[in-house]
Amino acid sequence: MPKFQFGLLAIIALILLRFVVGWHFYQSGLEKFENPSYSSTPFFRSAQGPGAKFFQDQIPDRYGLLRLDYTETAKDWDTRLQDALSKQRLTEEQTEEVNTIYKGYKDQLEWYLAKNIADDLASYQLEATSLKELQNELDFSSPDYQKQRARTREAKLLAQSAPWLKQVETIRSNLENDLNGLANTTQNGVKNNANIDENSPKIAPKDKKTVKKPVASAKKWYEFPSQSYRPVHPLLPNSTLDDLTKWVLLAIGFMLILGLFTRLASLAGIAFLASIIWITWQPVEVGISPTQYQEIELIALFLLLATAAGRYGGLDYLIHHGCRCCFRRCFRRPEKETS
C-alpha cells in the first residue's frame, strides 16, 4: 500500500484544527465545572431526536409526582433520618430535639401538599398521568403535530409545578440546615437557647420553644439530594452522569491540545457528538435547531482520527517514534558475521 505524505501547509492545517477542536472541548468542560448549577436534566428534557425517549427516561421524577406526593416524600425523609440517626451517638434529649424539629417540618410539608394545594395537585396529577401515557405512545416517526402538542402540554405542566417543587425543596433544605446546626451545636457541647428567627420556616407553636436556632454547620450528618428518586430506566445516576460529562469533555480537549493519544481522544469526541446528534436530530423541515455544528465537528474529529494528527506537533510524535525505535531494537535481526 503506497504511503502518502502531507505537505507543510497540510501539516499546519492539521495542527490548527486539532488545537481549535481541542480548545472547544476544553472550554465546554471548564464552563460546566465553573457552573455549580449545571445539570443534564434540561438537555434531556428538551430532547426530540431518535434517542429522546431513552434519555428523557434518565430524568428522575420527571414531573415531580413523587416529590409532590406527601406519602412518598415523608417515607423518603423517614428513611434518611433513621439512617442518619443510626450513625450518630445522640442522647435521649438530643434525639427528642431532633424528632421535634423533624415533626415540625413534616407537619409543614403535610399542610402544604395535603391541604394548601391539594385540589390543584389532584388535577395536576391526572394531567401528568395522561401526558405520560401519550408520550409512551409517541415515537420518532409520530406526526409532528402530535409531538408538538405533547411538548406544549409538558411545558405547561412544568410551569405549573415549578413553584410547588421550589417550596418543597425550601422545606427540605431548611430541615437539613436545622438538623445539621443542632447536631453540630450539641456535639460541640454548646447550647444555643435562642428561639427560631423570623426568617426560618414556620413551625407549630407547641414546638417553637424547643427548636434551636441553626448555626453554621461544619459537618453535615443529615444530608440527602433534592432529587433522590431513580429514573425509569437508569443508565447512571444524574450526578454521576453530569460529573462524567465534565471530565470527559475536559480530558478530550486536554489530549487534543497536547496531541496526546489523539486517536483515542478523537474517538471519544466522536462518540460524544454522535450521542448529542442522536438525542437532538430532527428533519430540517420541522424547523427545530439543526445539528450542523455537531456534524461538522464530528467530521473534523474523524479527520484527526484518520490522520493521527497528534504525530504532527504533538506528544504522539514522541510516543510513536519512541515505540518504533524500541520495537526495532527488540526485534532487530542479528547481522551476519563476515569472514
Helices (H), 202-307: 205-208, 238-258, 262-280, 292-307
**Using one digit for the tens of pLDDT, what is the confidence trace for 271-281?**
999 988 887 77
Q: Quick one: cell of 183?
A: 447536631
pLDDT in tens, 60-87: 777 888 888 888 888 888 888 887 777 7
Among 26-30, 123-127, 139-143, the range scoring the smallest mean pLDDT is: 139-143
For the cut 50, the answer to whether the pLDDT of residue 128 exceeds it is yes
User: At residue 181, does pLDDT exceed 80?
Assistant: no
Q: Which three cell numbers stand for residue 145?
A: 403535530
pLDDT-based confidence at residue 2 (cuts at 50, 70, 90)? low
Give the Cα separation of 312 and 314 in Å (integer): 6
139 pLDDT higher than 50: yes
Q: Is the pLDDT of residue 209 over 60?
A: no
Q: How many Å is the maximal CA-CA distance in the chain?
A: 109
Report residue 147's pLDDT band, with 50, 70 and 90 as the boundaries.
confident
Give the residue-averaged pLDDT of 254-279.
Answer: 92
Span 246-274, average pLDDT: 93
Between these two residues, 93 and 40, which has the higher pLDDT value?
Answer: 93
Rounded to the nearest 10 degrees, what angle do helices 144-187 and 92-111 cross at?
150
Mean pLDDT of the 266-270 span: 95
Task: Compute the distance between CA of residue 41 and CA of residue 238 in angstroms, rounded to an integer.
Answer: 8
| pLDDT at 194 exceeding the cut of 50 | no
Look at residue 214 in the predicted model and tell me its pLDDT. Answer: 37
The gap from C-alpha 339 to its chain's centroid, in whole angstroms, comes to 73
> How high is the pLDDT of residue 40?
74
CA angle 21, 26, 31 (to 5 degrees): 130
pLDDT at 195 over 50: no
* The three cell numbers locating residue 41: 436534566
Give the percent of the chain with pLDDT over 90: 22
More confident site: 199 or 165: 165
pLDDT value of residue 334: 54
Residue 240 is which amino acid? T
Q: Residue 250 above 60 pLDDT?
A: yes
- Please provide the average confidence, as pLDDT, over all residues in the chain: 76
CA distances from 204 to 77, 92, 106, 211, 327 (A): 19, 22, 10, 10, 78
Residue 202: pLDDT band with limits 50, 70, 90:
very low
Mean pLDDT for the stretch of residues 192-213: 39
Unique residue bearing C-alpha cell 454522535: 274
How confident is the model at residue 98, as a pLDDT?
Answer: 84
- Over 90: is that where the pLDDT of 13 sits? yes
The pLDDT value given to residue 237: 55
Query: Which three-class secondary structure string do you get for 6-24?
Result: CCHHHHHHHHHHHHHHHHH
Reported in sequence order, the residue ranges of the chain that DSSP labels E, i.e. its strands, are none
pTM of the model: 0.58
